[in-house]
Amino acid sequence: MHRRRLRRASIWLCGVASLAAGSFTALAVSAQGHAATVTGARTTVAAAGATTPFTTVEAEAGTLGGGARIRSIKPGDPAPTAASLETEASGYGLVELRSAGDSVALTNSSGKSANTLVVRASIPDALGGGGIDATLDLYVNGTYRQAITLSSKQAWNYRNASTNPDDPNAGGSAYRFYNDFPVRVTGAPIPAGSTLTLRKDSANTAAAYDIDSVDLENVGPARTQPAGSLSVVDYGADPNGGKDSTAAIQSTVDAARSQGKSVWIPSGKFLTNSLTSAKPLNFTGVTVQGAGMWYTTLYRKVPLPASQRSQILVGSHTTLRDLQIDTNAIWRGVGGSGGADYGINASGAGGWTVERIWTRHTDANWLSGSNGVVRDSRTSDGYGDGFNINNGNTPNPDKLGENITVQNNFARNTGDDSFAVYSDAGAAGTNGQVTGAKILNNTAVAPWWANGLRIAGGKNVEMKNNLVNGVSSNSALDIGVFGDTGHPLESATVSGNVLIGGGGWNGVRHGVRISSPASTSRYPDAYTNVTMTDNVMRGALRAGLYIDRTRVNVTLTNNTIDGPAEQGVWVASGVTGTGAFAGNKIVNLLPGKAATRNDSPSTFTISG
């Protein structure tokens, strides 16, 4: 597929900068995929975010019709105390359609025609839970084109509900409102520069349609079978989804492994319910290729509650590419009652490669082992982390978590950290330290739980040129350790990232948080050590950068904190350590807000 830089309209925040010199500085940051530039200071941050084959257009940037309205929150509004449609929207804004005739019109700004869309939207839950289906009408240049089917059957969970997380009448708090809805455009592709309109007509029966964004993509033809590969269809797999294909796919993989060949999964929807075995599909040592993420789908439709494991194992010397993994899961619980399981579970000391896959409605993509690479992939509407580099929470040498790279991937609506490094020493302290993890040029949009980016322990961690756009519950970036059993963060470099929002409703959160091991940790003298350079932290719903717990050594160089709701930098009480600050700028502070507040002046020394 042709790849192009993901684009959105640039957003300007201008005002009197809260710099020591009192100069005027304007900050321009595109919401996804482009460089952030501090124009007044002539400082440029490298391009941040993934290069993707689609262009995203925010609904709130469109033209409203009828009684449609924009719902949004911004820094300075009351900090959120509960999840809402606004907190879970990318950029904290959406368009609501409630009455017949309400509409939002968007321009195809991708520079090419679009034969597919992904509409990110929310419609209400059923009164008793379980969700509803409803259509919404699509017009192109004012002419009706097709009805798009939306659903809330895999949305609307309820935190702390007394029965299950899908019951709205069990005392829980609602969250996880949105889903991505892939749409193949009927008829001719939507030309570049033309207008597409989403309109609630009389046939569209949901009480409300809350539209967050639309992706536009020109998907190329399906890939063809590689020479010398074994087709799963020849081993009995059903591309029409009429019967379970788990055993047939595994038989193909086993045969390919013994013959030194690759596996081909053609266009189609293949059920992989694992009903005949509690074992997941195991692709170890084989190249497995589909026809493309819009053409080949491995679909898990397990009975709920699920009792079988339906993840995919990727081991040493495995390559997996060009397919989609989707499920009927309705809440989190690996192998449990919600039906979710890992998308892929990678390990192995010999290295592995995953590229151009799309996981939907799964738990985390769990990445351990050594010398593994995940690139050019997507995950959406997940129930766990998007992409998590870890040591498998075990001392197993096949799960060390060494030199794993996650590069140029797109995550939206994840149910935990979008991109994470987790180094857990374990209860016995025997798990190895995660080393050499790299999270590079990825995009994280609107995780409904946890953080956009997270570093939880490790050594020689690199987090560079990533983009976060909107976080509902926690921080845009969280840096520290994994609970009370985590390895210390020995060293990490965080550079060139654009971090929009953060400071959500889950307790007192901030744009970026840097913390340390708890006082009860097995590492009583360990510090969190991190260097942050050339990052833009913009529009936090509380403080721009918050430092807390006890032991932190941080170097901050040439960063920009723009328009936070509270302080620019806040060091909490009780912190020990050092802050070496140089060349940073805190701009567009709200009236009465401090650029820097240090509540540990005798134990945390700021220099520069």
pLDDT in tens, 559-594: 999 999 999 999 999 999 999 999 999 999 999 999
Does 38 score more than 60 pLDDT?
A: no
Cα torsion 358, 364, 370, 371: sign: positive
Domain harbouring 503, CATH code: 2.160.20.10
User: Which of 468, 378, 394 minimizes the C-alpha distance to 429?
Assistant: 394
- Among 107-116, 253-262, 285-294, 335-344, the minimum mean pLDDT is found in 335-344
Task: Check residue 22 and give its pLDDT.
Answer: 28
* Average pLDDT value for residue range 46-61: 94
Per DSSP, the three-state class of 37 is strand
State the pairing for strand pair 209-217/54-58.
antiparallel
Task: Examine the domain organization and report whether 255 and 397 are in the same domain.
Answer: no
Domains contained in the chain, number? 4
pTM: 0.94
324 part of a folded domain: yes
- Mean pLDDT, residues 204-214 taken together: 98
Residue where one domain finishes, among candidates 336, 369, 402: 369
Q: At 318, is the pLDDT very low, low, confident or very high (cuts 50, 70, 90)?
A: very high
Cβ 151 vs Cβ 123: under 8 Å = yes
Cα of first residue to Cα of last residue in the chain, in angstroms, is 48
pLDDT in tens, 236-270: 999 999 999 999 999 999 999 999 999 999 999 99
Q: How far is CA 194 from CA 4, 405, 596, in A?
A: 19, 38, 47
The predicted structure's pLDDT at residue 375 = 98
Q: Is the pLDDT of residue 515 over 80?
A: yes
Would you say residue 377 lies in a domain?
A: no
376 occurs within a structural domain = no
For the ranges 28-32, 58-62, 413-417, 454-458, the lowest mean pLDDT is seen at: 28-32
Q: Of 532, 400, 408, 521, which Cα lies nearest the Cα of 466? A: 408
Domain hosting 589: range is 385-608
Claim to verify: residue 362 and residue 461 sit in the same structural domain: no
Residues 573, 488 share a domain: yes
Confidence of residue 408 (pLDDT cuts 50, 70, 90): very high
Same domain as 10, residue 68: no
Per the domain annotation, does 492 fall within a domain?
A: yes
- Taking 3-state DSSP, the helix, strand and coil percentages for the chain, each rounded to the nearest 5, stand at 5, 40, 55
Above 90 in pLDDT, residue 31?
no
The whole-chain average pLDDT of the chain stands at 91
Do residue 308 and residue 391 come from a single domain?
Answer: no
Give the model's pLDDT for residue 301: 87
More confident residue, 302 or 250: 250
User: Quick one: 527 and 440 in the same domain?
Assistant: yes
Whether residue 470 is found in the same domain as residue 340: no
Per-residue pLDDT tens for 464-513? Answer: 999 999 999 999 999 999 988 999 999 999 999 999 999 999 998 999 99
* 439 and 558 housed in the same domain: yes
- Residue 66 falls inside a structural domain: yes
Check whether residue 92 and residue 44 sit in a common domain: no
Domain final position from 186, 217, 248: 217
Does 154 share its domain with 254?
no
pLDDT digits (tens, 9 = 90+) for 152-208: 999 999 999 999 999 999 999 999 999 999 999 999 999 999 999 999 999 999 999
In a domain, 201, yes or no: yes
What pLDDT does residue 335 have? 67
Distance CA 411, CA 143 (A): 33
Binning pLDDT at 50, 70 and 90, where does residue 81 land? very high
pLDDT at 36: 35
425 in any annotated domain:
yes
Q: 336: pLDDT confidence band, cut at 50, 70 and 90?
A: confident
pLDDT score recorded for residue 302:
79
For the chain, percent of residues with pLDDT exceeding 90: 85
- Domain end (from 169, 187, 217): 217
State the pLDDT at residue 42. Answer: 33
263 and 365 within one domain: yes
- Residue 463 in domain: yes
Our CA dihedral for 475, 50, 64, 184, rounded to 10 degrees, sits at: -120
Whether 45 has a pLDDT exceeding 50, the answer reads no
pLDDT digits (tens, 9 = 90+) for 527-551: 999 999 999 999 999 999 999 999 9
Summarize pLDDT for 108-165 with one digit per residue, the tens.
Answer: 999 999 999 999 999 999 999 999 999 999 999 999 999 999 999 999 999 999 999 9
**135 and 47 within one domain:** no
* Higher per-residue confidence, 1 vs 79: 79
